[in-house]
Amino acid sequence: MLERINYLWRVFATGLSFFCFGLGGVLLWLLVFPTLTLVVRDPLKRSRYARSIIHHSFAGHIGLMHRLGVLTYEVRGKERLQRSGLLVLANHPTLIDVVFLVSLIPNADCVVKSRLAGNPFTRGPVKATGYISNDNGAGLVDDCIASVRSGKNLIIFPEGTRTPRSGAGQLQRGAANIAVRGVLDITPVIIRCDPPTLSKGEKWYHIPSRRFHVAIEVQDDLPVAPFISGTSEAIASRRLTEFLTAYFAGE
């Protein structure tokens, strides 16, 4: 009986968490960011403040989910994320990975789907923070390189979508192109979720039999120079993609 009550509570708490996330996005769009626009006239300062607001809001949301009993979590190597100008590559087992990472990384930048700019729950943060839209075509890689070189910390999921239950598949080459063309070392992050939940194709209410645990491990930086030396950018990107595919699959 107690297990059934606990399960029903976690279904309710999970729904409440998603509701609060959406409500927070709308409030930021309608109240917080318009006020920020009036108070801070410099666009660069304004976007940095907006990213800081998102950073703390997401940390608060993770804290809410933890207090409601939806999840537990641990982070190893957090200090490695406190630097500037990082290219952070991570696997993507759950829907809330980006929430975790942005809550841990100061001045985080992201590549977002263009449709999020029209979503009422996300348009405010996307516009105010200046997150990179994925509809820029050939200029997307240059935008990502410029973001890192400006001191922002760019978060990329090389798979391009959430990891299926079967494990990481072949990575897309975009992340490697950014690292190679920009000569940017990589800060890899391994995310594990036990039991698996909120993965690709799953509904939010398909919750596991117990609250899930998210373990985040920030690895040592991976230098990109060995992949670039003595070869073309195309070959270097292919080699780096193959290495990262094996790396994330092994971890």
Q: What is the pLDDT of residue 167?
A: 62
Residue corresponding to tokens 């073309």 = 232
Q: What is the pLDDT of residue 200?
A: 82
How far is it, in rounded angstroms, from Cα 218 to Cα 73? 14
Count CA within 13 A, CB hemisphere, residue 248: 27
Identify each DSSP E strand in the chain by its residue range. Answer: 71-76, 87-90, 108-112, 132-133, 153-156, 186-194, 212-218
pTM of the model: 0.92
How far is it, in rounded angstroms, from Cα 51 to Cα 141? 21
Contact present, 171 and 236 (Cβ < 8 Å) = no
Alpha carbon 120 to its chain's center: 20
Residues 179-193 have pLDDT tens digits of 999 999 999 999 999
What does the domain layout of the chain look like in residue ranges? 2-250
How far is it, in rounded angstroms, from Cα 174 to Cα 40? 34
Q: 3-class DSSP state for residue 190?
A: strand
The DSSP call for residue 219 is P
How far is it, in rounded angstroms, from Cα 174 to Cα 140? 9
Contact present, 218 and 153 (Cβ < 8 Å) = no
Question: What are the residue ranges in the chain where pLDDT is below 70?
Answer: 120-121, 136-138, 165-169, 251
Q: What is the pLDDT of residue 227?
A: 94
Spell out the CATH class of 2-250.
alpha beta
